[in-house]
Amino acid sequence: MSDQPTSARIRVEALAPTYAAQAEAWAERLQLPLAGDAEFALQLGDAGLQLVELGPQAPGPVRVDFVEGALAHRRLYGGGSGQMIAKAVGVQSGIRPRVLDATAGLGRDAFVLASLGCDMTLIERQPIIAALLEDGLARAAGDLEVGAIVAHIRLLGGNAIELMQGWAGAAPQVIYLDPMFPHRDKSALVKKEMRLFRPLVGDDLDAPALLAAALALASHRVVVKRPRKAPIIDGAKPSYSLDGKSSRYDIYPKKALGKD
- Kindly state whether residue 42 falls inside one of the protein's structural domains: no
The pLDDT assigned to 86 comes to 94
- Kindly state whether residue 43 falls inside one of the protein's structural domains: no
- Kindly state whether residue 258 falls inside one of the protein's structural domains: no
The pLDDT assigned to 60 comes to 83
- Kindly state whether residue 185 falls inside one of the protein's structural domains: yes
Report the domain count for the chain.
1
Residues annotated in the binding site for S-adenosyl-L-methionine, as ranges?
Answer: 108-109, 124-125, 178
The pLDDT assigned to 245 comes to 86
Tell me the per-residue pLDDT of 35-46, one tens digit each, with 9 for 90 and over.
Answer: 899 999 999 999
Nearest partner of 128 among 29, 250, 48, 223, judged by Cα: 29
Q: Which residues of 212-231 are buried (b: 16+ CB within 10 A; e: fewer)?
A: bbbbebbebbbbbbbeeeee
CATH code for the domain of 169: 3.40.50.150
- Kindly state whether residue 146 falls inside one of the protein's structural domains: yes
Which residue ranges of the chain lie beneath pLDDT 50? Answer: 1-5, 184-190
- Kindly state whether residue 101 falls inside one of the protein's structural domains: yes
- Kindly state whether residue 64 falls inside one of the protein's structural domains: no
The pLDDT assigned to 221 comes to 98
Residues annotated in the binding site, as ranges?
Answer: 108-109, 124-125, 178
- Kindly state whether residue 23 falls inside one of the protein's structural domains: no
The pLDDT assigned to 74 comes to 61
Tell me the per-residue pLDDT of 207-258, one tens digit each, with 9 for 90 and over.
Answer: 999 999 999 999 999 999 998 889 999 999 999 999 988 889 999 999 999 8
How far is C-alpha 160 from the chain's CA centre? 12
Report the predicted TM-score, pTM, of the whole model to 2 decimal places.
0.89
Domain range for 136: 70-253
